[in-house]
């Protein structure tokens, strides 16, 4: 099977066609349908695109992604195809436009194979909150793949596509990458357009790729990135070539002491990271322990702010304009109430209500305003560390993947984000790299946080670490 784009390019050079490659992935999807990774396979449009790309290859004018097969999280719009954010509230909705990232990938001749299951409206850390059933981990089907981009991670880990797109609001790309032994990358906030991404929390959301190879992550990110007239939050900074280059000098990396000196982190994950720190030191790199005193405040701050934004963003899903409408509703008020009650799942309703509460009169300053101030402190401390160091190193997750239905308490589920939310609160780019396998047989990741718009340096270092590890 083709795990990386470089393998696909070799196959194409040997005479295989894009149709052949696509068919192999389609066969795999059917064989592994029990993973529930795909909500819909775009077999017809994908095969049409594959034929078109094969013709371009013959004519010598194919794009940079010719032969790459990409799955997209079910909250990214693709014109003429359904998109539901894995929610009943958007049942049957077909997008009338494509997200900017989709247009850019198609322009370089990528083949979009289908839409991938996720936690409803990207709210969850296990992919058990989808209206269309839980996704299973491709490495062990008794375990969750992580969330909210669990379908994306499971599809890459299960060889169902070359690369998958996810969205990362508080770790939703990096956490499932850690749980599935894949690489998950969240670019700097504002590096990649959010136009066509169904919003959860607009000041946190960022589209990014999951893959088996850092070079594939770099290529896809470079093509997706850059200014976009449809998204005013995208930076106009020029996007450099992200092609992987060898390191030219030794690294100076800060690692956060509090992430390792806690009972909350699995001992095997802690030992593996400490071993890596020592190995890097022995190789001449500078590894510096730093303190980050806001660790305990990060998850509460994240959930106050993201639920507030979700309360606003999800108000448009009301059973009137599009999507699900209750058949039993009579009158305007009942249409709103019953459609939203029946259309949204329990976790989405929980977050909408929490967000509405923190924005309400009498509580706004106590919660929302205070959380914004703490967010600024987290940003400032993160930037302060990165002024003196190249990167920040920490675990991606405190544990490996857990078994399906094992975590019932919402608070325990929210704490899965404890090491990933920092990069979203501060807007920095971050990546999860698979660095070990636990005695329980499941993989786990190392996380690196880079400087704002420092994707090139972060990806070069990630490629080095993948070889070094």
Catalytic residues: 73, 148, 172
List, as own/partner pairs, every contact residues 372-375 make where C-beta atoms lie below 8 angstroms and the sequence separation is at least 24, other chains included.
372/305, 374/294, 374/297, 374/301, 375/301, 375/305, 375/425
Could you tell me the two tokens for 312? 């606003």
Q: Contact at 8 Å (CB) between 53 and 66? A: yes
Q: CA 188, 40, 151 angle in degrees (round to 5)?
A: 45
| Strands ordered across the beta sheet of 207-211 | 38-41, 111-116, 69-73, 163-167, 207-211, 183-186, 430-437, 443-449, 391-395, 252-256, 286-290
Nearest-angstrom CA–CA distance, 81 and 244 = 34
> Which pairs from 261-265 meet CB under 8 Å and 24+ separation?
264/398, 264/415, 264/418, 265/395, 265/398, 265/399
- Per the CB < 8 A criterion, the answer to whether 141 and 61 are in contact is no
Tokens standing for residue 85:
């954010």
Give the relative orientation of helices 370-388 and 295-313 as an angle to the nearest 10 degrees: 120
């Amino acid at each position: 099977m083709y795990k990386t784009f470089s393998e696909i390019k070799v196959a194409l050079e040997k005479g295989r066609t894009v149709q052949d490659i696509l068919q192999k992935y389609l066969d795999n999807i059917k064989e592994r349908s029990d993973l529930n990774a795909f909500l819909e396979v775009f077999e017809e449009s994908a095969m049409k695109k594959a034929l078109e790309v094969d013709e371009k290859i013959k004519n010598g004018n194919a794009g940079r992604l010719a032969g790459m097969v990409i799955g997209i999280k079910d909250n990214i719009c693709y014109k003429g195809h359904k998109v539901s954010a894995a929610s009943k509230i958007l049942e049957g909705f077909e997008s009338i436009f494509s997200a900017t990232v989709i247009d850019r990938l198609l322009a370089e001749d990528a083949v979009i194979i289908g839409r991938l299951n996720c936690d409803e409206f990207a709210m969850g850390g296990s992919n058990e909150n989808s209206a269309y059933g839980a996704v299973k981990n491709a490495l062990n089907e008794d375990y969750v793949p992580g969330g909210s981009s669990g379908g994306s991670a499971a599809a890459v880990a299960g060889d169902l596509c070359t690369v998958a797109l996810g969205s990362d609001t508080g770790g939703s790309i990096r956490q499932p990458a850690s749980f599935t032994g894949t690489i998950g990358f969240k670019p700097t906030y504002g590096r990649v357009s959010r136009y066509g991404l169904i919003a959860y929390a607009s000041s946190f959301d960022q589209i990014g790729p999951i893959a088996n190879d850092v070079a594939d992550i770099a290529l896809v990110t470079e093509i997706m990135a850059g200014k976009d007239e449809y998204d005013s939050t995208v930076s106009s900074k020029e996007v450099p070539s992200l092609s992987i280059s060898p390191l030219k000098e030794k690294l100076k990396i800060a690692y956060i002491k509090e992430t390792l000196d806690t009972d909350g982190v699995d001992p095997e994950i802690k030992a593996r990271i400490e071993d890596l720190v020592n190995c890097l030191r022995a190789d001449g790199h500078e590894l510096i322990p730093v303190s980050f005193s806001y660790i305990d405040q990060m998850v509460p701050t994240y959930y106050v702010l993201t639920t507030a934004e979700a309360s606003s963003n999800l108000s448009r899903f009301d059973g009137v304009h599009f999507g699900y409408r209750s058949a039993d509703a009579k009158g305007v008020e009942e249409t709103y109430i019953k459609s939203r009650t029946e259309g949204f799942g329990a976790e989405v309703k929980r977050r909408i209500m929490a967000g509405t509460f923190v924005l309400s009169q009498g509580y706004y300053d106590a919660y929302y305003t205070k959380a914004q101030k703490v967010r600024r402190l987290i940003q400032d401390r993160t930037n302060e560390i990165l002024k003196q160091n190249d990167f920040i190193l920490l675990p991606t997750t405190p544990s490996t993947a857990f078994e399906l239905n094992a975590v019932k308490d919402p608070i325990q589920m929210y704490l899965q984000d404890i090491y990933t939310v920092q990069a979203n609160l501060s807007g920095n780019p971050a990546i999860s790299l698979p660095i070990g396998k636990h005695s329980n047989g499941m993989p786990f990741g190392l996380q690196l946080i880079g400087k704002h718009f420092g994707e090139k340096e972060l990806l070069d270092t990630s490629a080095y670490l993948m070889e070094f590890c």
